[in-house]
Structure 1
C-alpha cells in the first residue's frame, strides 16, 4: 500500500457535515441564561501554547479554536477550515510533504476583525520561535515552513513526507491565536504578555469578561460567533479549585453546577453522589494514562537550574535502570484500579493504550513481583549495608521524593505505592501540590511538573486525535523543559536516545498503517518496558458529571471535553 492510498483511506470515513442544533431547533443566542462549569484543577492561563495542563487547554478551548478538531469517535472534523485536507480532495500533496488548508469565508475574531491566513502563519511563528518555550512544540515537529498563500489559504510544508500531516492547527492543543494581539509576544517575551495570555481574543463561542488565575473565569457569548443562535448560554461561570469530591457533589447532589470535569473518585463515591438525582456521571475510554515519571536528572537544590534540567548531571540512583524496573515490579496495578477507578479504569503497561493499532502487547508489568524486585536490586548491588531498612550503594540511599497533585485517589495511590516500595527497601517521602500550581507552567514556580524538582512524579495526560506520532515526539532529545525555554517542553524525564529519535523519523516517513502501528509500539516500549523511564499504572476512562438539565454534551476523549460547548443547551421541563 502506498503512502498516498493509506492517507486517502485513513481519512475517507471522516464526516465533514456541520453539526445541527443539538436541541433540534434554533433560537436566540444566549437564550438559556448561565452555564456553570467546575474544574477542580483551576485554570491558571488561557494560552495553550504556554501550558501543557489539561485544565488550561480545555478552558481556553471555549475561546480559541483550531482549523480542525477530533470528534467523539476520533474522526477529523473541520472547525475554522472549510474541510479536512486529504490527498483525494487535493489538500494534501501527492508526495505528502505539504498540506493546504482553506479557511471558511467571513470568519471574524470576537473583536469583529477578520481572521485571515496571516493569523494562522503567525501562530506557527509564535510556537516555533527559537527563543520561546512552546508547550505544544511537538505539534509542529518536522514543519519546514508555513505560508499564507492568500487571505484564506495556508500551506504547511514539511521537511520530509508526512503521512500524518494533522499536527499543526489540529485539535484543542493547537488553536489559532490573533496576530495583532500577540505581535509583541514572540520568543522569550511570551510569558510576559499577561493581558493576551489571560484574555485572548478568539473565534470560539465565548469571550472572557473576567479571569482570576487559579480561581474563576467569567465568560459571555461571543456576539460575532459564526453560527447563528449559538451558543445557547449567555454567560459562563467557570469555577476552578477545590477537589473532585466537592465538584461532583456540586453537580450530582446540590445542582449548583451544570458540568464537573475529571471525577477522579472511588467508584462507590460516584455511585452515592449519583443518587442525589441532580446529575449523572458520564465516561469513555481513550488514551488517558495515569503514570509514574522517573527523573533521569539530579534534582538536588544544590545544583543550578540549567544543570537540574539536563542529563549532564544524572540522577544518583534512578539513572540505574534496575532501580526503575524494581520500583515498577513492586506495584500491584490491579489493586490500584480496584481502589481508585473500578469500572472506569484498567491496569496497563503502555503509555499509548489505544487505538488498538498503536498499542503494544506488553503485559509483563501486570503481575506484582515483590520478591523479584528485591532480587533485582540485590543483583544490581543495592543492599541495606547499615541495617536501617533502606538499600544503598556507594554511599547513595534509595530515598525517593514522590510528588503529585492533591487529589483523593492520587493520595491513596501514593500511600499504597509507598508501602510496596518500603517492602523492597526503598524509603519514600510523599508530597502533594495544588493542581493549579503543579500543572500551571509558571516559569517562576519550583513546583511545576515540568521542572520536576523531585525523584518521581505521578499524573495523567493523553494525546488528541487517534495518531500518537506527535505525542511520542515529545520525548525527542532537546524537548526537555529548561530555563532557556521558559521551562516549557514535554520531555520532563530528560530522556534522550538517538535510537528513539531515529525511530521517530522513520514513523514520520511511514504511511502504511500496520507499519506505523509497529513503530509506535516500539517507541512506546522504549519508554516503558525497555527502560522504565515511564511507568504506566492505569488506563483511565475519562469520567465527568453533567446536570440532568444540560443537553448537547458529548464526552470526547480525543480532544477537549468542551469541544462542542457551542451546542450545549438547557433542557426545558
Structure 2
C-alpha cells in the first residue's frame, strides 16, 4: 500500500515513549519559527467524549493545575503540515508527535517509534533506498482511537497531495511510497539512494496526523470531495487530535489556545499539568517581563529583545530566568528577484514573468550587501545572543563555510551602483536609471529588534542614494498561511524583507532545498513553496541534486558548503546575524530541556512544578 492518493479529512497528530531496541542514532553533524469561552480556573473544561469501549489509560489525573505559555507571535493554525513558522509548530507540538526527533546532542530519540532504525538492526537499507519504522504498540489518539501504521501513511498522503499545499513537503520529496507492512510497521521507500533517510516523519515537520474514520467500502467519496475537506479550510484543523500529552479544548486563531491533559496519554503519571493555556500576541519585551518579573506566565518563547533591555530585565528578575540554545537561526534580508509592483493578467504580483527593475543586476545586490552594518546590528541589538555572519547555513558547525566574508563598505557599495548605471541624474539625492528611481520597500514582522534593524539598514542605504520605505506587519499576518492574505512573507509584495526561518534537522538537506528553482513560491502553489526570493540558479539546482544522492558524508558536507557559498556569492539573500534562541522560564518550573532541532515544548510531558 502506498501514498499519493487524495486523503479524507483528518483529526490530528502524535508523541512519547523511550523504550527502544537500539540506543539511538547520533547523526549530529554527520547526517547525510483569547476570546475563548473555556473556563480559566481549570474547572468545567469541556472534554472530548470517550468512544464506546475506549478507556483512558492514565494511572492518575494530572495534579499540577494550569501551565501558562506565551508566544508574542500568535499561532494561527494547528495542522503542523500547514504551518507558517515556529509559532504554529510550537502550538501543534503540544498535541502532536513525530516518529522520532533529535535531542540537544543531535541524537535521534523515539517518540511514536518503538526504536530507531539503523544499519545494525537491519531497518535501513545499505544502499539508502528504504527505511523501516517499528511503531510503539498500545498508543492511542486523544479521541480514543488506536494509533496504527495507517496513520503514518495518511500523513504522507496529506503532505504529498498538491491540493493541500503542505508546507512540510520538502522533507518528503524523495519518498516514492509509504508501505503499511502491518499495524505497527511502516516502510518508507525512496526514489533513489537517500543519505537523509531520517528526514520524513521526524521532528516538527514529521508530526503524525491521524486518518479519520474510514468510510465503509460501499460508500464512494470522490477525490474532489476529499480534497475540499482536507485543505486549510477543513473544520478539523483548528481542533487537532494527537497522541501527545495534551489535547485541544478551544482555539481562537491569532489569540489563545486552551489544552487539557490527554487522558489516553501512554506514559503513567504524565503529564503533570491538568491544563495548558497558550496566549499569543503582544511583543517580545512584554513577554520577557511576564516571565522574568511579574510571573504572569511560566514560559515565553523567542524573546527577540534588545540586548540592553534584556540585560536589565535579567538583572531585576524575581520570578524567572533566561535560557538559551544555539539553533540554526539566521536573521537575514531576502532580495526579491521579481517586480512586486507589476501584475500578471491574473493579478499575481512578484511574478517570475517580471524581473526586478534593479535587483536583477548582481552588482546592485552586491552593493546592498556591502551596505549592511552587521557589527552594529549584532552588538547593539543582540549582544551576547547574536553574532554577525555571512553564512545562511550555520548549524551544525561542520557546515559553516570558511569561504565567505562580509565587509561594511559604503564606498564600495556606491561604486558598484555607479558601475551599474544607477546614479543621481537630477540631483535630488536619489539614484535613478532610465526614468526609474531606486526606491525600495523594506518589510518585516513587528518587533522592536526588527524595527531598529530596519532603521540601521535604512540609514546606510540612504547614505548611498537609495530611497527606503519601511513597513512592519503584525507577526500573525506576516507568518500567516492564508493564500488570500497579501501581507504574508511568502507573497513578498516588497523589494526587501527580513526574518528568520529555522531548520529542524542536523541534516540540512530539506532546508537547502528551499532555494531550488522548483521551490519558487507563486500563485500556482498557493504561495506555499519555500523559495520566497524567486531566485533561480541552475548551478545551485545541480549541486542540490548531487547532494541528495551523495552517500559519502564528507562529500555531502562539501556540497552543502558550496550551496551556501553560491547563495552568498550571488547575493540571493544577505545573512546578518546568527541568533541564539532565547526563552524565559519560571523559577517554579522544572523539566524544560531545549534542543536545537525541535520546538521548546518537545518534552512538555516532563514539565512540572518544583
CA contact (8 A) 1:129 1:186 kept: no
Q: Which residue of 2 aligns with 1:109?
A: 141
Q: Which residue of 2 aligns with 1:455?
A: 495
Q: 2:397 aligns with which of 356, 360, 369?
A: 356
**Which shows bigger deviation, 481-490 or 195-204?**
481-490
1:388-537 mapped onto 2 (5 Å cutoff): 388-528=428-568, 530-537=569-576
CA contact (8 A) 1:399 1:428 kept: yes
CA contact (8 A) 1:414 1:430 kept: yes
User: For the residues of structure 2 that align with 1:268 and 1:567, how far apart are their CA atoms?
Assistant: 33
1:39-438 mapped onto 2 (5 Å cutoff): 39-180=71-212, 187=227, 190-274=230-314, 275-300=316-341, 302-304=343-345, 307-365=348-406, 367-438=407-478
Shift of 1:181: 6.9
Q: CA RMSD in A?
A: 2.0
SS in 1 for 2:334: strand
CA contact (8 A) 1:103 1:152 kept: yes
With the length of structure 2 as denominator, give the TM-score of the two structures.
0.87
Shift of 1:284: 1.7
Q: Do the aligned partners of residues 452 and 189 (structure 1) sit closer, same or farther apart at CA in structure 2, a change above 3 Å counting?
A: farther
Shift of 1:487: 2.0
User: For the residues of structure 2 that align with 1:259 and 1:64, how far apart are their CA atoms?
Assistant: 19
User: For the residues of structure 2 that align with 1:43 and 1:153, how far apart are their CA atoms?
Assistant: 33
1:460-516 CA distance string (max 9 Å, x none): 111112110110012222222222322211111112222212211111111222211
Shift of 1:392: 1.5
User: For the residues of structure 2 that align with 1:168 and 1:363, how far apart are their CA atoms?
Assistant: 31
CA contact (8 A) 1:384 1:391 kept: yes
Q: Which residue of 2 aligns with 1:11?
A: 25
SS in 2 for 1:156: strand
1:361-382 CA distance string (max 9 Å, x none): 14421x2011000011111111
Q: 2:599 aligns with which of 536, 556, 560?
A: 560
For structure 2, list consecutive stretches of 5 or more residues without a partner in the other structure. 1-21, 29-57, 216-222
1:213-261 CA distance string (max 9 Å, x none): 0000000011111111111010001000000011111111100100011
CA contact (8 A) 2:170 2:510 kept: yes
User: For the residues of structure 2 that align with 1:495 and 1:237, how far apart are their CA atoms?
Assistant: 41
User: For the residues of structure 1 that align with 2:148 and 2:562, how far apart are their CA atoms?
Assistant: 40
User: For the residues of structure 1 that align with 2:24 and 2:557, how far apart are their CA atoms?
Assistant: 13
1:538-559 CA distance string (max 9 Å, x none): 0001101000001001122211
CA contact (8 A) 1:475 1:495 kept: yes
For structure 1, list consecutive stretches of 5 or more residues without a partner in the other structure. 1-7, 15-25
CA contact (8 A) 1:305 1:483 kept: no
Q: Do the aligned partners of residues 181 and 543 (structure 1) sit closer, same or farther apart at CA in structure 2, a change above 3 Å counting?
A: farther
SS in 2 for 1:208: strand
CA contact (8 A) 2:442 2:495 kept: yes
**Which shows bigger deviation, 61-70 or 485-494?**
485-494
CA contact (8 A) 1:51 1:488 kept: no
CA contact (8 A) 1:270 1:281 kept: no
CA contact (8 A) 2:69 2:278 kept: yes
CA contact (8 A) 1:390 1:427 kept: yes
Shift of 1:310: 3.7
**Which shows bigger deviation, 348-357 or 304-313?**
304-313
Q: Do the aligned partners of residues 562 and 339 (structure 1) sit closer, same or farther apart at CA in structure 2, a change above 3 Å counting?
A: same
Shift of 1:441: 1.2
Q: Which residue of 1 aligns with 2:5?
A: none
SS in 2 for 1:283: strand
SS in 1 for 2:153: helix
Q: Do the aligned partners of residues 190 and 421 (structure 1) sit closer, same or farther apart at CA in structure 2, a change above 3 Å counting?
A: farther
SS in 2 for 1:180: coil
User: For the residues of structure 1 that align with 2:170 and 2:202, how far apart are their CA atoms?
Assistant: 12
User: For the residues of structure 1 that align with 2:367 and 2:280, how far apart are their CA atoms?
Assistant: 38
SS in 2 for 1:331: coil
CA contact (8 A) 2:62 2:272 kept: yes
1:138-195 CA distance string (max 9 Å, x none): 1112111111111111111111111111111000122111110799886565444342
User: For the residues of structure 2 that align with 1:283 and 1:188, how far apart are their CA atoms?
Assistant: 42
Q: Which residue of 1 aligns with 2:39?
A: none
Q: Do the aligned partners of residues 82 and 305 (structure 1) sit closer, same or farther apart at CA in structure 2, a change above 3 Å counting?
A: farther
**Which shows bigger deviation, 549-558 or 354-363?**
354-363
Q: Do the aligned partners of residues 308 and 188 (structure 1) sit closer, same or farther apart at CA in structure 2, a change above 3 Å counting?
A: farther
How many residues align structurally?
551
Shift of 1:68: 0.6
